Structure 1
Amino acid sequence: TGARSRSPTPSLSSLPEDAPHAKILRLLRVLHKLNVIEAERPEAVKRSLPESAFVNNKLTAKLTRQLEEPMIVASQCLPDWALDLPQHFPFLFPFATRYNFLQSTSFGYARLILKWQSQQTRGQDSSRRDDGVGFLGRLQRQKVRISRKHILESAMKVFELYGSSSSILEVEYFEEVGTGLGPTLEFYSLVSKEFARKDLKIWRDEDPLKSGVHVFHPHGLFPAPISPEDIANDGGQKRTHIFRVVGQFVAKAMLDSRIIDMSFNKIFLRLALGEEVVLTLETLKLVDADLANSLEKLRSLATVRSSGDKMHKVVKDQVNIEDLEVDFTIPGYDIELRPGGKDLTVTSDNVEEYIHEVVEAIVGSGAKLQAQAFREGFSKVFPITDLQAFTIDELVMLFGNSDEDWSPETLSEALKADHGFNVESRAIRSLIEVMTEYDAPSRREYLQFITGSPKLPIGGFRGLNPPLTVVRKPHEPPLTADDYLPSVMTCVNYLKLPEYSSKEVLREKLGVAMREGVGSFHLS
């Protein structure tokens, strides 16, 4: 409940076909699509407009005003235009407004009321606050207790049982006293890593020889092809089942506003959303650039050979395409592209067929079942078609792979000093300087220590709720502040920091706490 049913292509009840403004909107949609294509071109010089050029500020303000009335949204009384425009012409609205629309119309009645209540609490205008509305939204909590030694197995079971439930999932660990937000955020972080394990053999690994337990995926996670034997045995169910759970996991994280740490390939996300993907080497480059470049070289060899006797004689002394002994199997996998493919050599006559079949086997049919399973799992929580209001880059950000702002200005604004500290305290200034100097791995460690997740939520440090709070940790004589380590309350993003004698001591002690304080939740 709480959202009008939204199909992928509902009729535009607010836009008659022959209305002048409808024609203008359709023209804008075409222009926006052309602009997106131009922006995605690999050339260095792009002639595309920024996304903000298409945003209509008046419509944005009007839609925001509609979404501020929870009773209108919850009772499904939004005007037709407020449902039609964000779905069919999302470029008219900035990301924040579209995300607000998704939360208001797709996440259910109870979450809508709680979201509105939270905004009222944070807002300064108490004259419009209605404390009675809070009783209208009762959100159930589902607590589960799992073993750290069997994170993946536990996660699979948890999402099979409760993945489609509308209740908020809370996780605790056996033999640990920690409860609430901290352990739950860490659970989502740990499971994100577990799903990218090499031994699952469900993702492409661009460097199988690279050490480590997780796949190497600089272009984002993309499914490994499923062999015909697996499809013949059980229709690929065993291999696709985990993709179904991954889909549920991602959707549940969005529903509960949990941060996940999964970097999906943009082409895979297009396939999961049901978008059309052109089967070309340019598309393959976005999945595996090295393989695409190798296939281009193979094509150039065949082209040179067929371009004339004189040129052919020069090249023949160097290399023949047949000498490479490439057969009709998927590169890197023992899977035939066609029956008898292992015994069929690639020649200058059939090289185009080979290239087409490789691209089809990786980006086309090779990822179709996995994308479909992800889509089915996701839609058990809320319809994946509701994500069509977002660009692929925005979805990559939503799923936990966004750039983060760690500038001193942002940190100073977002950090709340309290109980013994203020914004001018030497310890606070030193902490901000240390945080600013962190490299990417140290940032992940710091966030894992403070919040339970290695990534910031949407909105960065400003999006932390409650805000990051730093308080003074007292010391007892004869010990000094330098004898203590910092401690945290991850559930409320709360750092207890001793007033160290110098910035160097602060950096050292914080580093020790970050390394030793992860992996369990106990009383501080």
Structure 2
Amino acid sequence: MSASLSAALARSRHQLLPSKRKLDDTTASTSTSTSTASSTSRACPATNPSSDACLSPPLVMPPLHFFVRTSSKTLVVHAHPSDTVNSVIARLSGPSPAADLRLIYQGRQLQGEETLASCKVQPDSLLHLTARLRSTRCPRAWQLANDICHPRDPYLLDSLVKEFLSLSPSPALDGELSDHLDVFLLSGAPVALVKFYLSHTSMPVRVVADRSIRLFTTDATLPKDFQVRCLPILLEFCRLLGSTAGRRDLLYQSCRGALATLLDLQEWRTVGPFRQPANAIPQLLPFAKEMAEIVIAGLSSEAMLISSKDLMEFSNFMRALRVQIQDWMGGVGPMPRELYSSPNACSTSNSSSSSSNNTHRQLDGWIHALYSTYKELIEKVNSCLKKLNTDLINGKSVVGESDTRLLGPSRILSVLTELNHFSNIYEDAEMTLVSVLTAHRVPLNALVRHAKRHETFCWLLKHRDILDFESRRNLALMMFPEGRDDYHELHEMLIDRSQLLAESFEYITQAEASSLHGGLFMEFKNEEATGPGVLREWFCLVCRAIFSPQNVLFLPCANDKRRFFPNPASCVDPLHLKYFVFSGRIIALALMHRVQVGVVFDRIFYSQLSSRTITLEDIKDADPLLYASCKKILEMDPDILDSDALGLTFIREVDELGSHKVIELCPGGKDLSVNSKNRDVYINLLIQDRFVNSISKQVAHFAQGFGDILINSKEQNFFFSSLDLEDFDRMIGGSEGVVDVKDWKAHTEYNGYKPKDRQIGWFWKVVEQMPPERQRMLLFFWTSVKYLPAEGFGGLGSKLYIYKSAESQNHLPSSHTCFYRLCLPAYSSLSTMRSRLSMITQDHVSCTFGTW
């Protein structure tokens, strides 16, 4: 066992360290010459024929082959047993050796004048080169580590490891803890445990070794910050097991999974091997490549299925590697194509400075290898999307079926998300990715429409032109919290209808933003009804109050009364800016709860929320008179304008709250005449002052309130810029067109009635004869939905129901709005049906609820 393991371990050292081979060759040649010199010295008596020594052959000791672990890598050393410790240190440290370097073997510092033979250094053993002796601070740790390496009873290995971990200092004592855990590595304990694990002569010992190693991967009693400090040990286990037991070994996979999990924590970058990108990148790259191979294999299967565990490890290793690469790049990037286009691109670059040569050598070590991995992944994703497109055409995966049909392909979005990050590293990565997305719009949109909530997918909104509305909406809504079903997690409100706006303002503005992320639970005072239906009604009523002209917060557009923008004169209310924060929260909460409130924004308002420049065409609906005037100025004959016939200067006159103000559009504007050369500037400044400067505070506070509800409050600008105004209209405003009664009937089911019952026939006949506004009142009474989604009744997410009520004909219909349920008594005539439905579609009735 020892010989095969030693050979395997030797191979693993060569595989792990690309730059080591040259060092090994040097040390090998040096040791050979040393060995020859020593042999010659011992053979000197043979020159004297009379010497007794000539009667027997000289004793020639075989050379030693062992490993030396430094702070960043493991070296293979060939030396002679007669070589001194100092000579080995000198060879390892180079031409300028450090004065305080020491060799540690089995927890003991080797004395410089001792020979390797006298130190009893064994072949294939592991020594550690360190700057100072650590054993003085951790004597018990060294003793335990030595017992693990040379146990009296191998069946107690896990007990020894448990005791070692239990003696670890608190993570708060970072220096002591680092010394303590370093002992485990310096002593060679990981190598010893792996040797025991690979022992085929004793299965019980193998099981105990397995259990001992898993203490570093599955011990839930260890605090997270302590587990992070164990990262170097886990890394060593992964290296040893991967190169000996193999990647399919379950223990190796457990260690790799634990390593990936810890890389998801923030503190991992403070641990020794990962503090410097130059050291961390070669450590992480093999794992990232390995997981990429596993992902490619999964995508190559018929079901294109990748396990959640493998996907998590792939993402964690890729993320950690990306962080280190970006640190190494120093915030500059992406790298130009010539640095990675071919394996020798870096080494063939012309550079005379040593620093540039060093940089190119570092690039040559990993940059092309990672780029090759990126290319393999993007090519595999491309072929998967092509296959999915064929399946969709052939009806093998039909949109609208169970999500299980798209479970495998849905993983493609996670892989695409990782590939998207390469655009920050490689110059052509984004262009390649966009070309793949563009070529496969249909399957991409199918995946996005069916994707479950995952905010990391939102980057796809950068390519909104490739996505359809349903996909853009799904991604945008992923930026909101999911909400909770637990009643105790909801923000509770009890609202008096007569004080609707004031009390709603208090409940929403005084709440911590995080408490609103769980969702809302509300009821009206003196009313029994609660639940989603009441909440939908509250949203509609509050939004109607917010955007009412009586509250001076918003102004309706002259050409479209349904569209609003902030009122520059809103300052008449001392609390107006707080009300804009409140308004932003309400609109965001309505989106989060997927309630259409029938209010939409004017383009000048939406453009500012998305940081887009406002043009003359944008003000057409908000101020048609100003728009027409500006158009005339732009179209006016230059000679007339230059003659100052209009008498225009760079000012804007405002009548506000009974006072007249003159605002200069630029310094000295009142003395600057508008002419044919500066009229474009004048109009742009006029629009800027009228629609931007005058409402900038209102817009900022609205955006603040909106951002409070997002998962990441800083993403509010990205949310609006990722959608067109028309998208936002459909998401928050809903449909205001004529209600399609055929669609209504198609999405209605019955309980107690049959579709051919006369009461059902009368019901739909009365509904068809209603004016559109009455139809909406009935729909609102029935469901608390006044404005249907853009998809109509199909977008409600549930069927509507008509239940047969046991009440007498003297009773009005009632509703359970949460369940979209209308309870309809069995009226005896068409006229009675018409009368009862007419009564519940009165405005004062449709805005209250029946029984719960």
Alignment of 1:129-148 (within 5 A): 140-148=489-497
**Residue 613 (structure 2) pairs with residue 277 (structure 1):** yes
User: For residue 532 of structure 2, what is the amino acid of its counterpart?
Assistant: L
Shift of 1:442: 2.0
Question: Contact 1:264–1:396 (CA<8 Å) still a contact in 2?
Answer: yes
**Residue 624 (structure 2) pairs with residue 289 (structure 1):** yes
**Residue 538 (structure 2) pairs with residue 201 (structure 1):** no
Which residue is 1:248 aligned to? 585
Deviation readout 1:113-160 (Å, 9 max, x if unpaired): x7xxxxxxxxxxxxxxxxxxxxxx887222211211111111211111
User: For residue 553 of structure 2, what is the amino acid of its counterpart?
Assistant: I
**Residue 467 (structure 2) pairs with residue 93 (structure 1):** yes
Q: Secondary structure at the match of 1:424?
A: coil
Question: Contact 1:245–1:377 (CA<8 Å) still a contact in 2?
Answer: yes
More moved, 144-153 vs 194-203:
194-203
* Distance (Å, rounded) in 2 between the aligned partners of 1:101 and 1:225: 33
Give unmatched runs, 5+ long, in structure 1.
30-52, 115-136, 208-215, 313-319
1:218 to 561, 575, 579: 561
Question: Contact 1:204–1:217 (CA<8 Å) still a contact in 2?
Answer: no
Which residue is 1:262 aligned to? 599
* Distance (Å, rounded) in 2 between the aligned partners of 1:339 and 1:458: 42
**Residue 824 (structure 2) pairs with residue 497 (structure 1):** yes
Question: Contact 1:54–1:92 (CA<8 Å) still a contact in 2?
Answer: no
**Residue 736 (structure 2) pairs with residue 410 (structure 1):** no
The TM-score, its normalising length taken from structure 1, stands at 0.68
Question: Contact 2:493–2:523 (CA<8 Å) still a contact in 1?
Answer: yes
* Distance (Å, rounded) in 2 between the aligned partners of 1:237 and 1:13: 46
Query: After the TM superposition, which segments of 4 or more aligned residues of structure 1 sit over 6 Å from their partners?
Result: 324-327, 345-348
Deviation readout 1:54-83 (Å, 9 max, x if unpaired): 971122344456x35x7xx5xx8x7xxx55
Q: Which has the higher contact order (CA 8 A, sep 6+)?
A: 1
* Distance (Å, rounded) in 2 between the aligned partners of 1:186 and 1:517: 13
Which residue is 2:211 aligned to? none
Which residue is 2:441 aligned to? 56
1:149 to 498, 505, 508: 498
Question: Contact 2:650–2:665 (CA<8 Å) still a contact in 1?
Answer: no
Question: Contact 1:328–1:354 (CA<8 Å) still a contact in 2?
Answer: no
Alignment of 1:236-385 (within 5 A): 238-274=575-611, 276-278=612-614, 280-297=615-632, 303=638, 305-306=640-641, 321-322=646-647, 328-330=652-654, 334-338=660-664, 349=675, 352=679, 355-382=683-710, 383-384=715-716, 385=718
Alignment of 1:2-17 (within 5 A): 12-15=420-423
User: For residue 291 of structure 1, what is the amino acid of its counterpart?
Assistant: L
Which residue is 1:107 aligned to? 480
Shift of 1:468: 1.5
Shift of 1:470: 0.7
Question: Contact 2:652–2:662 (CA<8 Å) still a contact in 1?
Answer: yes
More moved, 503-512 vs 351-360:
351-360
* Distance (Å, rounded) in 2 between the aligned partners of 1:336 and 1:54: 55
* Distance (Å, rounded) in 2 between the aligned partners of 1:93 and 1:56: 7
* Distance (Å, rounded) in 2 between the aligned partners of 1:64 and 1:91: 15
1:289/1:176 CA distance change after superposition, 3 Å: same
1:473/1:453 CA distance change after superposition, 3 Å: same
Which residue is 1:212 aligned to? none
1:241/1:171 CA distance change after superposition, 3 Å: same
Task: Write 1 or 2 for the structure with the bigger share of helix.
Answer: 2
Which residue is 1:134 aligned to? none
**Residue 775 (structure 2) pairs with residue 451 (structure 1):** no
Shift of 1:89: 1.2
More moved, 348-357 vs 259-268:
348-357
Alignment of 1:452-491 (within 5 A): 452-457=784-789, 459-474=791-806, 476=808, 481=809, 483-491=810-818
* Distance (Å, rounded) in 2 between the aligned partners of 1:389 and 1:138: 33
Question: Contact 1:163–1:249 (CA<8 Å) still a contact in 2?
Answer: no
* Distance (Å, rounded) in 2 between the aligned partners of 1:54 and 1:260: 37
User: For residue 508 of structure 1, what is the amino acid of its counterpart?
Assistant: S
* Distance (Å, rounded) in 1 between the aligned partners of 2:602 and 2:436: 28
* Distance (Å, rounded) in 2 between the aligned partners of 1:302 and 1:444: 51
User: For residue 449 of structure 1, what is the amino acid of its counterpart?
Assistant: F
User: For residue 23 of structure 1, what is the amino acid of its counterpart?
Assistant: M
Q: Secondary structure at the match of 2:709?
A: coil
Which residue is 2:537 aligned to? 186
1:442 to 774, 781, 784: 774
Deviation readout 1:177-197 (Å, 9 max, x if unpaired): 222223222211111111112
Shift of 1:303: 4.7
Question: Contact 2:736–2:787 (CA<8 Å) still a contact in 1?
Answer: no
* Distance (Å, rounded) in 1 between the aligned partners of 2:838 and 2:785: 17
* Distance (Å, rounded) in 2 between the aligned partners of 1:399 and 1:518: 21
Shift of 1:24: 5.8
Shift of 1:25: 5.8
* Distance (Å, rounded) in 1 between the aligned partners of 2:616 and 2:436: 30
Q: Secondary structure at the match of 1:171?
A: strand
Deviation readout 1:479-511 (Å, 9 max, x if unpaired): xx4x44222222222112233455454333212
**Residue 756 (structure 2) pairs with residue 424 (structure 1):** yes
Which protein shows a greater Rg?
2
Question: Contact 1:260–1:400 (CA<8 Å) still a contact in 2?
Answer: yes
Which residue is 1:44 aligned to? none
**Residue 724 (structure 2) pairs with residue 391 (structure 1):** yes
Which residue is 1:510 aligned to? 837
Question: Contact 1:181–1:491 (CA<8 Å) still a contact in 2?
Answer: yes
Shift of 1:361: 1.8
1:191/1:442 CA distance change after superposition, 3 Å: same
Q: Secondary structure at the match of 1:106?
A: coil
